[in-house]
Amino acid sequence: MLSINLKIISSLIFLFLGVYFFYNEYNLLLKIKFNNIDLIKKQEIISKDNIIKNTKNNNKNEIKNKIKNIETKNNLTKFKIKVNKGDTFASILQKLNLEDQTIFSIANKVENFYDLKKLKIGQNILFFKNSFNEIKKIELKKNIDSKIIVLINNNEIIAKKEKLKKSFFQESKEFNIRESLYQDGIKNNVPQEILISLIKLYSFDLDFQRDIRANTYVAIFYDMYQIVETGDIEYNDINYARISIGGKNIEYFKFKTDEGFIDYFNKEGKNVKKSILKTPIDGARLSSNYGMRKHPISGYNKMHKGIDFAAPKGTPIYAGGNGTIEYVGKNGGYGNYIRIRHNNDYKTAYAHMSSFKKGISKGVRVNQGDVIGYVGSTGNSTGPHLHYEIIFQNKQINPNKLQLPSGKILKGKELERFKKEFKEIYADHLNLLYE
Ligand SMILES: [Zn+2]
């Protein structure tokens, strides 16, 4: 009796297990089936558009061959369409009787390389059609040295970016200014882009509206690339520049510093981004700082808008930066006074001088460190000293708070390397000029 019961129970258990495993397996099978159906569906969608979903997974050579096939199989004629106001990439393609689905796919592919919202008015798009008037190829300029190519073949669409071949050039020019740096530069076939870089380069030294005058001499040596296919020119760096005004040379050489930065330095290895000297005198003692103080003569509390350096009479005073003499002569309480204009923003002033250096007159150009005059006690002064002002946008500022980019000064091995390189640059400049 017991054995019969056991038999029934065990066979029930087996039956139950059997049903359980069968059901599980069946479910798994179903899942796999559904997945397969999903896959097939996906594949169908892909083949419908015939989009190669992931070009990365495709052999590059395969794509190349496909492009070649499309290009050679079809005898294509080229035409271009200029982007007009209100046009979009899609609206242009619509006019060419392409199907919406195709347009959508093309736009999608192009967007991988190029933001179609950046399409410019006046930009040309190249189209290539076969003898049945079917668009087979589209070319779109991405930037000066690359283009996007779209190939359409039996609903298969391939888009790719192509770098354009370019050839390297160097050019050197020297010319006199008769009107302005910009106009005479253009007349001498110096490209506008280079002239703009040149003006930027000299913004620490010159006030271009006022300093440049007739017979200012300009030398410039720069790199450029010509795009073979389009003839477009891509301008690169200035290698060397010199501006000579009234016998003063301001020249800069391109140099890659040890830190890897491209920058410009003069022959002494001083960076183009020079600061204005905070102490334009040697061996002087700071005797009065910028700020409120009791005036030594009037006795009133007054703002002292400069810095005083006590020094023996006759001590040379240096120009605080490259610039043009704007004022030289007697100037009330300042006594013998010089003011230098450095650029559009900065000026420096020097007061109580005993005398001016010979040759210093209004309009003369000076470089940083040139002697302009000598310490004295002229005007409202209690003893020999230099009163020095730094003027920013026509207001005296505290020289200690001066925030000008302080340019790097090359030293040691870096300076040696620079000196070797600038000689080569200069030799190249002359070679190109007299070639
Ligand atoms: Zn003072």
Q: Which tokens in the block code for residue 220?
A: 């410039």
For residue 344, the CA-to-ligand 1 centroid distance in Å is: 25
**Residue 32 confidence (pLDDT):** 39
| Contact call for residues 368 and 348 (beta carbons, < 8 A) | no
| Contact call for residues 123 and 83 (beta carbons, < 8 A) | yes
**Residue 132 confidence (pLDDT):** 86
Mean pLDDT of the chain: 83
For residue 288, the CA-to-ligand 1 centroid distance in Å is: 7
For residue 305, the CA-to-ligand 1 centroid distance in Å is: 7
Length of the chain: 435
For residue 381, the CA-to-ligand 1 centroid distance in Å is: 8
Write the pLDDT tens digit of every residue in 148-162.
999 998 778 999 999
With cut-offs at 50, 70 and 90, classify the pLDDT of residue 19: low
For residue 388, the CA-to-ligand 1 centroid distance in Å is: 7
For residue 374, the CA-to-ligand 1 centroid distance in Å is: 15
Q: Which tokens in the block code for residue 243?
A: 């501006």
Q: What does 243-267 look like in DSSP terms, one character per residue?
A: EEETTEEEEEEEEE-TTS-EEEE-T
Domain borders along the chain are 1-46, 55-163, 285-401
For residue 403, the CA-to-ligand 1 centroid distance in Å is: 21
- 3-state percent helix, strand, coil for the chain, nearest multiple of 5: 30, 35, 35
Query: In the predicted model, is pLDDT for residue 71 greater than 80?
Result: no
| Contact call for residues 297 and 411 (beta carbons, < 8 A) | no
As a whole number of angstroms, the distance between CA 418 and CA 411 comes to 9
Tell me what percent of the residues of the chain surpass a pLDDT of 90: 51
Q: Could you give the C-alpha distances from 50 to 42, 270, 432, in angstroms and in order? A: 12, 62, 55
DSSP designation for 366: E
For residue 97, the CA-to-ligand 1 centroid distance in Å is: 80
As a whole number of angstroms, the distance between CA 426 and CA 20 comes to 90
For residue 287, the CA-to-ligand 1 centroid distance in Å is: 9
| Contact call for residues 260 and 233 (beta carbons, < 8 A) | no
For residue 358, the CA-to-ligand 1 centroid distance in Å is: 24
Q: Around ion ligand 1, which residues have CB less than 5 A away?
A: 306, 308, 387
As a whole number of angstroms, the distance between CA 136 and CA 157 comes to 9
For residue 292, the CA-to-ligand 1 centroid distance in Å is: 11
Write the pLDDT tens digit of every residue in 221-232.
999 999 998 888
Average pLDDT over residues 383-404: 90
For residue 284, the CA-to-ligand 1 centroid distance in Å is: 14
For residue 384, the CA-to-ligand 1 centroid distance in Å is: 11
With cut-offs at 50, 70 and 90, classify the pLDDT of residue 55: very low
Average pLDDT over residues 331-351: 95
Backbone angles phi, psi at 60, to 5 degrees: -60, -40
As a whole number of angstroms, the distance between CA 431 and CA 3 comes to 114
| Contact call for residues 274 and 368 (beta carbons, < 8 A) | yes
For residue 286, the CA-to-ligand 1 centroid distance in Å is: 10
For residue 333, the CA-to-ligand 1 centroid distance in Å is: 10
User: For the chain, first and last CA: distance in Å?
Assistant: 121
As a whole number of angstroms, the distance between CA 399 and CA 388 comes to 9
Average pLDDT over residues 270-278: 82
DSSP designation for 343: S
For residue 387, the CA-to-ligand 1 centroid distance in Å is: 4
Tell how far CA 21 is from the center of its chain.
70
Q: Give 90's strand partners.
A: none
Query: In the predicted model, is pLDDT for residue 431 greater than 70?
Result: yes
For residue 306, the CA-to-ligand 1 centroid distance in Å is: 5
Instruction: Answer whether CATH 3.40.50.720 is correct for domain 285-401.
Output: no
Tell me what percent of the residues of the chain surpass a pLDDT of 70: 82
Average pLDDT over residues 236-241: 94
Q: Which tokens in the block code for residue 417?
A: 């390397």
Q: Name the architecture of domain 55-163.
A: Roll (3.10)
| Contact call for residues 248 and 367 (beta carbons, < 8 A) | yes
